[in-house]
Every structure is written in structure tokens, then in C-alpha cells.
Amino acid sequence: QSVLTQPPSASGTPGQRVTISCSGSSSNIGNNDVYWYQQLPEAAPKLLIYKNNQRPSGVPDRFSGYKSGTSASLAISGLRSEDEADYYCAAWDDILTGRVLFGGGTKLAVL
């Protein structure tokens, strides 16, 4: 079971705004930046959000990241069919000597 907790699924209709949560603790999200990755079907994950709320070039501004305390969230506005994918949060965890942690992933369905 992942230390970063995400809901297994989420859904929305085209044009809607959906949010995906990621819950951690003081040793990871509470003390480090959060990253989000999008994994389209049959593809490798792709960086979507870095350092909590920054978008790499080429990522539409429909995607937004937020962090507060030991939780983070990804918001997708103006939902489109091509947004149907798995979404993963990630953060460094300071416990013991440290490691990268991924959330369990959220499968987003566009109905």
C-alpha cells in the first residue's frame, strides 16, 4: 500500500472540473515538493506538474497543482476525452535515508 494516498478512481463529463487528491505526511508532502504524472493508456508516465504547481512547457493551463500541509491535489478544468488516463502524485520521503514515493494512482474516466 502506497504511503501517498490517492482515490483509485475519478470521473467527469466533458467541460467539467475534476480534482484528484494526494494525502501524505510530514516526512513527504509536508516537507517536500509534489510532482504529478499522467499515464495515458499503453504509454509511459509523463511529467504534468513539478514543484507543486508548475507546468512544464507544452502542458495546457487546464492542469493545476496545489499543495497545503501534508496534502496535494491536481485539478483539471475543461475536461476533455483525451484527459482519460491514470494520474500519479510523487514526493520525496525523508524517512530513514530517503526515497522517492509514488501514490497508488487515480484512474480518470471521462464519461
Partner 1 sequence: QVQLQESGPGLVKPSQTLSLTCTVSGGSINSGGYYWSWIRQHPVKGLEWIGYIYHSGSTYYNPSLRSRVTISFDMSKNQFSLRLISVTVADTAVYYCARGSTTVIWFDPWGQGTLVTVSS
Binding site for partner 1 (CB under 8 A): 2, 33, 35, 37, 43-47, 50, 56, 86, 88, 90-92, 96-97, 99-102, 104-105
Cβ-proximal residues to 58 (8 Å cutoff; 6+ apart), any chain: none
| CA dist., res. 12 & res. 71, Å (int) | 22
| CA dist., res. 109 & res. 15, Å (int) | 13
Asked if residue 45 lies in contact with residue 85, where contact means CB atoms within 8 angstroms, the answer is no
| CA dist., res. 52 & res. 31, Å (int) | 12
Minimum Å distance from CB 15 to partner 1? 28
SS3 at position 85: strand
Q: Name which of 100 and 111 has its Cβ closer to partner 1.
A: 100
Minimum Å distance from CB 68 to partner 1? 19
Q: Name which of 18 and 48 has its Cβ closer to partner 1.
A: 48
Q: Name which of 2 and 77 has its Cβ closer to partner 1.
A: 2
Q: Name which of 2 and 23 has its Cβ closer to partner 1.
A: 2
